[in-house]
Amino acid sequence: MVESIRVDVYHHFGDGDAKLDRLIASVDALTVQIKQQETKIMATFQDLIAAVENETTVEQGVVVLLQRLSTELTTAIAVGATPASLQAIVDQINANANLLAGAVVANTPTYP
């Protein structure tokens, strides 16, 4: 019959525990920094998503505006529009164009 013997060997090196503690503390600090950066990146990503959604909404609004203007002009011509009524439509187009141009300028970032 063969008996088994278990041998455990432990090595203790002077300040090894202190070095290990410092290493663990460094890893913990890096983990916190990584999580903070992840939070910042996610916030920036959410801002980007919101900006894209807002841009899509604006673009859809412009499409609707152009469709309405086309319909109004077609209707005006069909019913025999007078120069005054056409001028009212042109004035509305210009007002909307100025609002759109102002919004584009106000919301376009400038880069150095």
Q: What is the pLDDT of residues 51-108, one digit of tens each?
A: 777 777 777 877 887 788 778 887 887 888 888 888 887 888 888 888 888 887 787 7
What integer pLDDT is reported at residue 13 of this predicted model? 63
CA atoms of 92 and 82, how far apart (whole Å): 16
Q: Go through 14-44 and write b for each residue having 16 or more CB atoms within 10 A of its CB, e for each that does not.
A: eeeeeeeeeeeeeeeeeeeeeeeeeeeeeee
89 contacts: CB under 8 Å, gap ≥ 6: 69, 72, 73, 76, 81
What integer pLDDT is reported at residue 112 of this predicted model? 64
User: Which of the four pLDDT bands, split at 50, 70 and 90, describes residue 2?
Assistant: low
Predicted confidence (pLDDT) per residue in 10-32, tens digit: 766 666 677 778 888 898 899 88
